[in-house]
Amino acid sequence: MKIKAALLICALLGVIFSLGGCVDKNKDAGQSGTTTTTTVGGSTVTTTTTVTTTTMDGEYEAGRDGIVTDGTNSGGDDEDPFSDRDGGTVPETDTTMDSSDEAAFAPSYIGRTAIKNEKIGWGLGKERDRSNRPVDAVRAEEQYKAYDAHFLASDGKICLTFDEGYENGYTAAILDTLKEKGVKAVFFVTYDYCRTAPELVRRMIDEGHIVGNHTWAHPSLPDLTQKEVWADVTKLQQYVLDEFGYEMKLFRFPKGEFSERTLDDVHNLGLTTLFWSFAYADWDTNTKTDPAEALAKIKDSTHSGIYLLHAVSETNAQIIGTVIDYWRDQGYEVGADL
């Protein structure tokens, strides 16, 4: 009996030690950590990323190749994460992505969440330097250069840009004037614009203008998760590439609302961000701006910078030729280049 009892105790101890080893192995297999050091704006940010390799609700599984999947999506799901429901706005809680999107997302974003996401609304004060440049734009050009974000043009240049959220009947006239003057411009487009005015987008490309990404659904990007930013921006990139055979290189934030994190997001997508050093209230079609008043504002602000005009403005269509002539008379090179 004593021998049997001893054997039984040994067997139980063996089982206990065996279970403990399994628990440790599962614990080790469940997580792996990597430390990432990122330099942003002169500051070094060190973050430790834990990648979960167990498939549980709310967690993501990352293989050794860095591909991230949610453990449920096998790819090939063509569901549109940013459909036209709710007036075409991006649903903040919808982060549906297929496996290829996840694969591309992983190396760009994992470990970069330490960057601030405080929303900043871009605007300009009245203070100017000796070159008539807004001081706010001069400071921002230096502050955000690490993200390939630009607020000014090179000395002697004026970069002419238009935002195209929807077509209001004046873009063709603006393109006519640009062709007459031999000037190239940058047109930032949304999905809705591309869908409703494809012939004008095609004309922009064919006539040598630059077409830029103004997002799929025109959301305020700091309100989105990093995956939603990825999905919105890349969805328009792919759409324009598929429909027009054109790869966009430039980006503009909707409403001028950004954060350091979203600047980093866009930069990681390989896009150069253009803000502006001049804009006026030309987007309000309910209040027609007097052409003489608009012309005076533009002339008074003339500097080496990035000019934002909205093509929905009848006034802009009327005065753009005169504006170009004035800038050239002042010795500026007008075009799409910085």
- In one-letter notation, the amino acid at residue 108 is S
Catalytic entry in 209, 218, 303, 310: 310
Confirm if 195 and 218 have CB atoms less than 8 A apart.
no
Task: Please confirm, yes or no, whether 242 is among the known catalytic residues.
Answer: no
Task: Please confirm, yes or no, whether 163 is among the known catalytic residues.
Answer: yes
Q: Ramachandran region of residue 233, left (φ > 0), alpha (ψ -120 to 50) or beta?
A: alpha
Q: What are φ and ψ of residue 171, in 5° steps?
A: -65, -40
Q: Burial code of 97-119, b = ≥16 C-beta within 10 A, e = fewer?
A: bbbebbbbbbebbbbbeebebee
Q: What are φ and ψ of residue 154, in 5° steps?
A: -65, 160
Catalytic entry in 163, 232, 265, 282: 163
Task: Please name which of 264, 207, 216, 275 lies closest in space to residue 240, comparing C-alpha atoms.
Answer: 216
Residues belonging to the chain: 338
Residues acting as catalytic residues: 163, 310
